[in-house]
């Protein structure tokens, strides 16, 4: 088998970690597999480099920042190759130049365009274990780019796609994808399989197991993804198109506490008001998540929306500065809220989900402040203090009960 | 003018140093020059990376070691570019891939074969200050190589040669080339000019201002080299073919204390004995410097030679292990010796130099243990405790007196 394995920064943080990962890699090689490994920068390396840069120029260009940050992965791959050499296996490290990982030109947030895999395939042919820098590419000027947060997952999936790998294993500090964060929801269970779409929704909801761009890419090229532990030998979760979702209505419950709610009250009930608000926020590079528009008193309306907490003050500032042109009466914010979401491919065709959801929150006496739905996802906004309780109640209602019935 | 400037690791050790160098660079750019800058890794970065590697694999391959170490220079150039951006000047950093610095394949000690300067010339054409990683190249497999100790000097000279630069400025922590180390010889004076050959001899003798490979290259391509201070604005020393050597007999006095003397006593007076000894040492990768063969008692002979101190025990071991086949009576070593050398293009045609040299040491009551001469150099081996005194006496005799006469 041709296997692509990706390990994150915490898995290669020091010599001990590196040796443990080297063992995992060589174990797989010993079984007769061709092994390609993608690594992130060690532990805090990236943060340390950013700090160095900030000291010199807080407004450094992204081009030079990428040039700087890309050294972190190059160090990881060289050190890993050394560890594998010490164990007596043939190995070679390669950076983005050497294996032609071509990307778009958008520094700090580039997308992989193509990879010419000749060098990698030659090295595999020569029986080498191949260790490749994640997170980075080169653009058409041969300048170094980085792929943004979670970029190494994307590197691994792109390599797996181009190399026609049998499997792409993403090693993390958890042993797979759970129906909810086990630290929050006591009955959370590990999923054996999940579809790309569900994984995408969970990734977007902040489950943080996989970067969503990597899941999109895996879906597009039908890459067999496995999320598994870098520490234990547990089986992990397979992400694939035809995942047997165990016929569960809901596959995951996610809690996102990085949420602030802003309410703009007493807007004139005219066309274009919402457009004005959200185009102002967009120009200020503020991402908006949930949006609700409700009828206010007499001929006015209210618009509420959520943003991440660190964007809350900026959003208030932008809107207040434009109070005159927007013509609202008041603006309020609340940072003590959280978003609880459920994801499941089965929901689209099941009209009873919303009512079950409200039953669960009602039974727990939890007030739902906002609600937003998509094909395979429902998100609720609740007070932060209620969020974990809501997640547990919803998880029990949909997943724990469901599993009981079928076992 | 097109100027290549090279700064070493201590000149870019931290944010303050980087800003100071950025000022030097932009001052030159403001005067209307095209400026190409070559940098080493910051301060202790290389040592720290080696330490990391040693922890993982004390016998790491040189290929992976080069992959690791090359990140140091890439960090330097990115940080320097950021500092120059902060000052408002157009700038771009480039690594060995980006400016096609092709080298031989000998990892850790590669030589530059060619540089295709198209990218650099384009960036200069676009009015950019160009900051380039020193010390590294890529071989024909596109693998990263490093150029060995002092390699950044070589990078700078090679770039100056290929770019037809008007001048190549090597910035160091001294303000030029001195007639002797000012910390040792109180009357040492800075030279305004020196020939390539003299600079080469001084470099080989441990003057450590310039790496000798860089001087060889400068001589070959007739590059105008200037050694100057990275801190003061002093004029520095010009190294060039037709240097006005101020008609001095001797241009430099160097002291090397990393010397051990080994004497092999009572060898049979047969052909091939010396060959056997030095081929054994060569196989053990021990470099021999001075060699003297003298007639011993009756039909035997003695051979003395010097090695660096850390090679002394290895040399003794190799020879003692082969005592039977070499057939000597005794072997002794002395690590309390030092080499004092004088260099000057004028010496070759002046038969009085040796006698002046012995007069100087005789007047100081210093015992000379070995002597070795070349066209433009004479080296003496003395007891370590006498070395500094010998250097001062010789310097006064040849250089201070000489300068007095001519001023």
Are A86 and B57 an interchain contact pair (Cβ–Cβ within 8 Å)?
yes
Is residue A246's pLDDT more than 60?
no
pLDDT at A354: 77
pLDDT at B371: 82
- Smallest Cα distance from B47 to chain A, Å: 14
B56 phi, psi to nearest 5 deg: -90, -40
Q: Among residues A297, A170, A291, A149, which one has the least CA distance to residue A223?
A: A170
Token pair 């004029």 is found at B235
Higher-confidence residue of B171 and A376: namely B171
Question: Residue A348 — very low, low, confident or very high, per pLDDT cuts 50/70/90?
Answer: low
Of A95-104, A347-356, B227-236, the least confident? A347-356
Q: Taking CB atoms and an 8 Å cutoff, what residues of chain B touch A92? A: 63
Considering only CA atoms, give the Rg of chain B.
24
Are A18 and B56 an interchain contact pair (Cβ–Cβ within 8 Å)?
yes
Token pair 């990597």 is found at A214
A6 phi, psi to nearest 5 deg: -120, 130
CA distance B154 to B214: 4
Q: For the purposes of burial, counting CB atoms within 10 Å of the CB of B333, is it exposed (0-12), middle (13-18) or buried (19 or more)?
A: middle
Question: Please, what is the average pLDDT of chain A?
Answer: 89
Question: Is-contact A186 A243, C-beta < 8 A?
Answer: no
Residue A361 lies in domain:
253-406
Listed by number, the residues of chain B in 1-20 with a beta carbon closer than 8 Å to a beta carbon of chain A are 15, 18-19
B178 phi, psi to nearest 5 deg: -105, 160
Q: Which of A20, A39, A55, A64 to mutate to test the interface with B (most CBs of B within 10 A)?
A: A64
Is residue B131's pLDDT more than 70?
yes
pLDDT at B225: 94
Among the three residues A246, A277, A293, which one is the final residue of a domain in this structure? A246
**What average pLDDT does this structure show over A129-155?**
94
Are A98 and B142 an interchain contact pair (Cβ–Cβ within 8 Å)?
yes
Considering only CA atoms, give the Rg of chain A.
24
In this complex, the residue of B15, B53, B93 whose CB is nearest that of residue A55 is B15
CA distance A54 to B48: 22
Query: Is position B21 within any domain?
Result: yes
Q: Looking at the structure, tell me whether residues A222 and A274 fall in a common domain.
A: no
Question: Residue B207 — very low, low, confident or very high, per pLDDT cuts 50/70/90?
Answer: low
Is residue A34's pLDDT more than 70?
yes
Q: Looking at the structure, tell me whether residues A356 and A269 fall in a common domain.
A: yes
CA distance A367 to A384: 11
Q: Among residues A369, A264, A266, which one has the least CA distance to residue A318?
A: A264
Helix (H) or strand (E) holding B63: helix B62-86
With pLDDT > 90 as the criterion, what percentage of chain A qualifies? 58
Token pair 């807080």 is found at A58
Question: Residue A172 — very low, low, confident or very high, per pLDDT cuts 50/70/90?
Answer: confident
Q: Looking at the structure, tell me whether residues A104 and A154 fall in a common domain.
A: yes
CB atoms inside a 10 Å sphere around CB B55: 16
Q: Taking CB atoms and an 8 Å cutoff, what residues of chain A touch B26? A: none
Q: Among residues A339, A354, A367, A337, which one has the least CA distance to residue A397?
A: A354
Helix (H) or strand (E) holding B87: none
Is residue B190's pLDDT more than 90?
no
Q: Looking at the structure, tell me whether residues A126 and A228 fall in a common domain.
A: yes
Reading the block at residue A156, the tokens are 């691994």
Under 8 Å CB-to-CB from B297, ≥6 apart: which residues? B266
**What average pLDDT does this structure show over A85-93?**
98
Q: Among residues A278, A320, A269, A302, which one has the least CA distance to residue A369?
A: A302
Q: Looking at the structure, tell me whether residues A44 and A188 fall in a common domain.
A: yes
pLDDT at A211: 81
Is residue B296's pLDDT more than 70?
no
Are A70 and B75 an interchain contact pair (Cβ–Cβ within 8 Å)?
no
**What average pLDDT does this structure show over B141-148?**
94
Q: Which of B20, B75, B100, B102 to mutate to test the interface with A (most CBs of A within 10 A)?
A: B75
Of A72-81, A344-353, B57-66, the least confident? A344-353
SS3 B195: coil
Q: Looking at the structure, tell me whether residues A294 and A399 fall in a common domain.
A: yes
Is residue A23's pLDDT more than 90?
yes
- Smallest Cα distance from B384 to chain A, Å: 41
- Smallest Cα distance from B267 to chain A, Å: 44
Among the three residues A195, A224, A246, which one is the final residue of a domain in this structure? A246
- Smallest Cα distance from A58 to chain B, Å: 8
- Smallest Cα distance from A56 to chain B, Å: 6
Question: Residue B142 — very low, low, confident or very high, per pLDDT cuts 50/70/90?
Answer: very high
Q: Does B85 touch chain A (CB under 8 A)?
A: yes
Q: Which long-range contacts (CB under 8 A, 24 or more apart) does A308-315 make?
A: A308/A258, A308/A259, A308/A260, A309/A258, A309/A259, A309/A260, A309/A335, A310/A258, A311/A260, A311/A286, A311/A287, A312/A260, A312/A262, A314/A284, A314/A286, A315/A262, A315/A281, A315/A284, A315/A286
Of A141-150, A368-377, A397-406, the least confident? A397-406
Under 8 Å CB-to-CB from B261, ≥6 apart: which residues? B304, B305, B306, B333, B334, B335, B337, B369, B370, B381
**What average pLDDT does this structure show over A113-142?**
96
CA distance B150 to B8: 9
Under 8 Å CB-to-CB from A173, ≥6 apart: which residues? A8, A10, A11, A229, A230, A231
Q: Looking at the structure, tell me whether residues A179 and A295 fall in a common domain.
A: no
Q: What is the CATH number of the domain that holds A146?
A: 3.40.1160.10
Query: Is position B98 within any domain?
Result: yes
Question: Which residues sit opposite B3 in a β-bridge?
Answer: B35, B167
pTM: 0.81
Q: Does A67 touch chain B (CB under 8 A)?
A: yes
Q: Looking at the structure, tell me whether residues A236 and A259 fall in a common domain.
A: no
Question: Is-contact B205 B343, C-beta < 8 A?
Answer: yes
CA distance A83 to A129: 12
Are B97 and A97 an interchain contact pair (Cβ–Cβ within 8 Å)?
yes
pLDDT at B150: 79
Q: Does B53 touch chain A (CB under 8 A)?
A: yes
**What average pLDDT does this structure show over B42-58?**
95
pLDDT at B291: 84
Helix (H) or strand (E) holding B194: strand B193-194
Among the three residues A184, A218, A246, which one is the final residue of a domain in this structure? A246
Question: Is-contact B209 B181, C-beta < 8 A?
Answer: no
Question: Is-contact B25 B31, C-beta < 8 A?
Answer: no
Query: Is position B59 within any domain?
Result: yes
CB atoms inside a 10 Å sphere around CB A405: 9
Distances (CA, A) of A407 to A162, A342, A397, A404, B371: 40, 22, 16, 5, 94
CA distance A159 to B367: 70
pLDDT at A349: 67
In this complex, the residue of A61, A75, A83 whose CB is nearest that of residue B85 is A61
Name the residue of chain B whose CA is nearest to A142's CA.
B98
Number of domain units in chain A: 2
Q: Taking CB atoms and an 8 Å cutoff, what residues of chain A touch B81? A: 61, 64, 67
Q: What is the CATH number of the domain that holds A264?
A: 3.30.2130.10
Q: Does B55 touch chain A (CB under 8 A)?
A: yes
CA distance A359 to A95: 54
Give tens-digit pLDDT for B86-129: 999 999 999 999 999 999 999 998 999 999 999 999 999 999 99
Q: Among residues A335, A73, A179, A362, which one has the least CA distance to residue B70?
A: A73
Q: Taking CB atoms and an 8 Å cutoff, what residues of chain B touch A15? A: 52, 55-56
Interface size A-B, in CB pairs within 8 Å, comes to 115
Q: Looking at the structure, tell me whether residues A192 and A303 fall in a common domain.
A: no
Are B81 and A67 an interchain contact pair (Cβ–Cβ within 8 Å)?
yes
Per DSSP bridges, beta strands A368-374 and A330-343 are unpaired
Higher-confidence residue of A283 and A76: namely A76
Question: Which residues sit opposite B237 in a β-bridge?
Answer: B227
Is residue A298's pLDDT more than 70?
no
Query: Is position B9 within any domain?
Result: yes
């Amino acid at each position: 088998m041709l296997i692509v394995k990706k390990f994150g920064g915490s898995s290669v943080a020091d010599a001990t970690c590196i040796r443990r990962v080297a063992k995992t890699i060589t174990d797989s090689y010993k079984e007769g597999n061709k092994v390609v490994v993608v690594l992130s920068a060690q532990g805090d390396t990236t943060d340390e480099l950013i700090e160095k840069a900030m000291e010199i120029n807080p407004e450094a260009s992204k081009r030079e920042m990428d040039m700087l940050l890309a050294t972190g992965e190059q160090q990881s791959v060289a050190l890993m190759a050394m560890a594998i050499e010490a164990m007596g296996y043939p190995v070679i490290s390669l950076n983005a130049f050497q294996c032609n990982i071509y990307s778009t030109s958008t520094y700090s947030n580039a997308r992989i365009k193509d990879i010419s895999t000749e060098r990698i395939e030659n090295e595999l042919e020569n029986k080498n274990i191949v260790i490749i820098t994640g997170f980075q590419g080169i653009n058409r000027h041969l300048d170094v780019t980085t792929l943004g947060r979670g970029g190494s997952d994307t590197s691994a999936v792109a390599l797996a796609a181009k190399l026609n790998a049998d499997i792409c294993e993403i090693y993390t500090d958890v042993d797979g994808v759970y129906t909810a964060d086990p630290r929050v929801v006591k009955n959370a269970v590990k999923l054996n399989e999940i579809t790309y779409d569900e994984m995408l929704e969970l990734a977007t909801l902040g489950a943080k197991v996989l970067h969503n761009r990597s899941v999109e890419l895996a879906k597009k090229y039908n890459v067999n993804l496995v999320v598994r532990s870098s520490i234990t030998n547990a089986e992990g979760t397979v992400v694939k198109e035809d995942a047997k979702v165990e016929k569960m209505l809901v596959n995951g419950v996610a809690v996102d506490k990085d949420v602030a709610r802003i309410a703009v009250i007493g807007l004139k009930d005219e066309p274009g008001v919402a457009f004005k608000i959200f185009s102002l926020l967009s120009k200020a590079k503020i991402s908006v998540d949930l949006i609700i528009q409700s009828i206010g008193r007499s001929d006015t309306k209210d618009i509420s929306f959520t943003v991440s907490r660190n964007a809350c003050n900026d959003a208030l500032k932008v809107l207040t500065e434009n109070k005159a042109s927007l013509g609202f009466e008041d603006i309020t914010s609340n940072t003590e809220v959280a978003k609880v979401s459920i994801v499941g491919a089965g929901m689209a065709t099941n009209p009873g989900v919303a009512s079950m959801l409200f039953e669960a929150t009602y039974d727990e006496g939890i007030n739902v402040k906002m609600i937003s739905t998509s094909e395979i996802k429902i998100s609720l906004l609740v007070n932060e203090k209620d969020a974990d309780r809501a997640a547990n109640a919803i998880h029990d209602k949909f997943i724990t009960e469901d599993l009981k019935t079928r076992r």
